Structure 1
Amino acid sequence: MASKGQFKVVSQDDYARKVRVSKTHVPHSRTTAGCFMCKEKKVKCDEARPVCTRCRRNHRQCSYTAAPLHARHHQHAKPTFSVLSAKSIVPFYAPSAMNGTSSLRLIQHLHAHWDEILQLPQSEELVSLFRSNGLVRNTILAITACHLRHVAPGIVHHRVAEYFQQSLALRDYKAILDNRKQAMGQSDVNEFILSAVLLNVLALALPETEHAEPSKSWVCSPHKSNLGWLTLQAGIRPLMMSMAGGEERLSPMLNFLSRIFLGFDRDMWSRVRNLLSPEVVPTSWKTMFGLDKPSDGQGDVNRDEIFRVPVMVLVRLRDLEPVRLNALKNFAFLAKMKREFRDLLSKRDERALWIFGHWLGIMQRFDGLWWCEKRVKRDYQAILSWLKHLRLGDRPGPEGELWREMMQDLELAPIFRRQGSHRVEVGAFA
């Protein structure tokens, strides 16, 4: 006979008590912030942004439900993008590349990391242009794909998307240039120039096929074609002058760029008419570049005249505090660079390389310029190594002594040092 211990009478009250205990149990909270791919595969996600460790390791497209963006800088406006889920319907045409990261994924990444990607205030004006203007939108999406390629190298989908979005932007850009005879309003000109400036961001980013080692720099294999990216940067200023067609359009255009890039209506792009007085230029610089000689004013492009303006701009830039609002001002140097100076760079002229290397050193002071940091570091180290290889400081007499002082300045260029209390203002595209 079976033991009586095998049976137990359970009353309704006993059952009710168990149910009540179960109801009072507090369940463990389950995170919902993991990426879509980890959720789909039901694996733990470390929620690393913008690409989690598991997706990075397995070369998968990693995406999150876009969370509200908290601007890291108080001067930035609150986000104006609506939250985009995986099933969002985008209220504008945004084609995606076959086998590339989708446009929706790019928009989600842009929404979640706007501040890091563009380094611009998320203003209503810019977001509205993103929604309504195909050229602006394609350009920004190309930059976003480039950022994904930067933070998650090796994922081919991001590279395909970058090339695809860039090709769309360049197609629209060329169409506008080809039809410039048609009437363009002020807003059309503003939007076109904004896109041109943003396209230059892509030109500064090293392609994935280029290596970041100094030995792979154009300095080690000089050819004009290797400096094509630099020609694009220098072309912004004449393009602006051409599109504006006069003061009447130029001033509103510059104020528009100020709002977009600074976040407030202030004309930081004022033209620089008066160069610094020679008294504030280091004596060694004046001697090296012939700044102590009077300008001939005849239009003859001799070597000293080629160097005069870049050196004067460099003197202005070296005292700028390395904060984000000043980062864009450093591109004034590229805008002031004439074709003759670029030709000297391609020929590895010693003085031209020193000037450009010093600017690259100054650019290294600024954090967060992800799109150009690899190029800047690579080319700075390449120029420094090349000039050291020439042993310029071993030249006899005053020339060698002068070069020793100049090389010391070049090595210290990445370090911010206050040179004086005078205020410095530079117009970036003047």
Structure 2
Amino acid sequence: MDRPRWGSLGINADDNFESTNRPYHAKRPHKKSRAGCSQCKRRKVKCDEGRPTCRACRLRKETCVYPGTAVTPSSPSTPNSSSPGRSPGLSPSSDAGTVVAEPLFRPRQLVDALDMKMLWFYTTWGFHYFSIQTGRSAAVDHVLQVKVVEHAFRSPFLMDCLMAVSSLHLRSMNQPIQAHRTANYCARAFEGYRNAIEAANPADYPALIACSLLIVVVSSQAFRDPEGKSLYIIDWMQVWRGIGLIFEIVSPAALQESGMAVLFYRPPVDLEKATGYIPNNLLFMIASIRPGDADYGHEQTYYDMLKYLGSLYQEMREHGFNPILDLRVITFFTFIPKSFIPLAKEHRPRALVILAYYLCFTKLIREVWWMRDISDDQISQVCREIGDEWSHLLRVPQSVLKMTDKVEIAQTIINNRNWSPGELDLYEKNRDPRLDTDLKLVNNSGSEVRAYRNQWRRKASVESIERGDVGFDMSSLGQSAEFSPDVAKPVSGPS
């Protein structure tokens, strides 16, 4: 994809958006409607001339009256009526083609040219950074470019989130977006998202689904705050886990109806096979736990965490650098067991060591602007926090700190100086067939799931029921393991 010419943004350092209160109006050329309703003529918007009620009046819940017709006595006379009157003699089925020439309303937060540019930037370029399928799948592109924006026009908190993401992205590219405007966007995004979760309004479910993905990006800015909280990686891990909370609120049917399920596909994980790729020093770190140790009783949590970490080692050893590896690294925190979070929050040394090894993999992610500048600072903080007693377990993270070459970092992570990535560039379009076959809705045990009776269930169990397998134990269907789908990354993008 060609790099955009950022000079064409028209965002200048001298622009004083705060002192300019002129609203930005986008007029689109359209064919005049000669027989439109009175409401549309008054508002000077395109009328689709639908009978008995045009689309604009239906959406606004206003009485739709065409010139030369009368409102029936039973029709309410107030503009806020939800029961529009019919024009006599017209069939409800007569409907002209719907043409919307411009938005039927302008959200209150789009108040000036900068707001409009933020939205424009997201729809033309920024959306690339939320799925590895961007540019490969027309369906994914449509969801990110069109559906997300449609829901943002209906749910202001999602629009605030889009504004925040775009402003942070542009600032990362050294564009002159004023810091206080970015801070205002972010504050509104967090407040709106929190309030929407508390309200749990079904009408906002599609926007909540999209916002759970975008809020991860907004919150990543704390990594680049020089006065940010120490070991912020732990807080960010909890933000990722918040995606699971949304999927507890939103039913499978609502997810499918929103059209956004494709944004939360993850590659499956074979946890048993991944166990064979866990570094021996980390396995020994857990095996050495004895009665009286502060971590005694938490061994299984640590082992489970190491299995997910092992899936990263497995992917890199078997397939080299590729989009699926990037996806596994970025979505890592959506898999981890809940019981690991309090251990990390207590800064248990073993938990921090595991996080340090994960952070080594994040240093391989170069093309995703919101994943940059995370690894080095956080690894250094882990090393300072746990001290010399555990330093022998941090030799790999400490070595990675000093490296910039991607291949050298990978060789250090897997402890193989002779390793080299495959000859084929799997980032090239259609080079990795797994992008078409392996990305699915996957639960936190790594198994594919599907909706069954409006609950997430393991696909294999559902198929057994549908086949009518003799002797199938219905109790094995159960609830699928905790389900927290993913947010993804682009295959390529600007440096």
What TM-score range do you get, normalising by the shorter chain? 0.5 to 0.7
Identity of aligned residues (%): 12
Q: Is the 8 A contact 1:205 1:372 kept in 2?
A: no
Aligned to 2:226: 211
Residue 107 (1) aligns with residue 119 (2)? yes
Residue 88 (1) aligns with residue 26 (2)? yes
Q: Distance in 2 between matches of 1:242 and 1:96?
A: 27
**DSSP-derived class of the 1:374 partner:** coil
Rg bigger for which structure? Answer: 1
Aligned to 1:4: none
TM-score for both structures, normalised by structure 2: 0.52
Q: Distance in 1 between matches of 2:267 and 2:206?
A: 14
Aligned to 2:355: 356
Residue 368 (1) aligns with residue 367 (2)? yes
Match of 1:149 among 164, 167, 171: 171
Task: Tell me how far 1:257 sits from its aligned partner.
Answer: 3.4
The farther-off stretch of 313-322 and 274-283 is: 274-283
Q: Distance in 2 between matches of 1:96 and 1:255?
A: 25
Aligned to 2:213: 197
The farther-off stretch of 373-382 and 311-320 is: 373-382
Give 5+ residue unaligned stretches, structure 1. 1-46, 64-85, 220-224, 262-266, 294-299, 394-402
Q: Residues 101 and 202 of structure 1: is their aligned pair in 2 closer, same or farther, counting only changes over 3 Å?
A: farther
Aligned to 2:92: none
Aligned to 1:23: none
**DSSP-derived class of the 1:60 partner:** coil
Aligned to 1:228: 235
Task: Tell me how far 1:361 sits from its aligned partner.
Answer: 1.1
**DSSP-derived class of the 2:368 partner:** coil
Q: Is the 8 A contact 2:164 2:182 kept in 1?
A: yes
Q: Residue type matched to 1:243 in 2?
A: V
Q: Residue type matched to 1:228 in 2?
A: D
Match of 2:282 among 261, 280, 285: 285
Task: Tell me how far 1:130 sits from its aligned partner.
Answer: 3.8
Alignment coverage as a number of residue pairs: 315
Task: Tell me how far 1:364 sits from its aligned partner.
Answer: 0.9
Q: Is the 8 A contact 1:200 1:233 kept in 2?
A: yes
Task: Tell me how far 1:131 sits from its aligned partner.
Answer: 3.6
RMSD: 4.5
Q: Distance in 2 between matches of 1:254 and 1:355?
A: 36
- Residue deviations 1:121-176, cap 9 Å, x none? 272232222442124433222100111222227x5x54333333344444543454
Q: Residues 353 and 268 of structure 1: is their aligned pair in 2 closer, same or farther, counting only changes over 3 Å?
A: closer
Q: Distance in 1 between matches of 2:355 and 2:191?
A: 32
**DSSP-derived class of the 1:218 partner:** coil
Aligned to 1:40: none
- Residue deviations 1:191-216, cap 9 Å, x none? 422211111111122276x218xxx6
Q: Is the 8 A contact 1:311 1:355 kept in 2?
A: yes
Q: Distance in 2 between matches of 1:340 and 1:227?
A: 13
- Residue deviations 1:240-269, cap 9 Å, x none? 13423xxx53884898332x47xxxxx536
Structure (1/2) with the larger helix percentage: 1
Aligned to 2:395: 407
Give 5+ residue unaligned stretches, structure 2. 18-23, 28-101, 135-139, 423-433, 445-483, 486-495
Q: Residues 408 and 105 of structure 1: is their aligned pair in 2 closer, same or farther, counting only changes over 3 Å?
A: closer
Q: Is the 8 A contact 1:233 1:334 kept in 2?
A: yes
Q: Residues 139 and 409 of structure 1: is their aligned pair in 2 closer, same or farther, counting only changes over 3 Å?
A: closer
Q: Distance in 2 between matches of 1:327 and 1:302?
A: 33
TM-score for both structures, normalised by structure 1: 0.58
Match of 2:299 among 301, 304, 309: 304
Aligned to 2:197: 177
Q: Residues 166 and 158 of structure 1: is their aligned pair in 2 closer, same or farther, counting only changes over 3 Å?
A: same
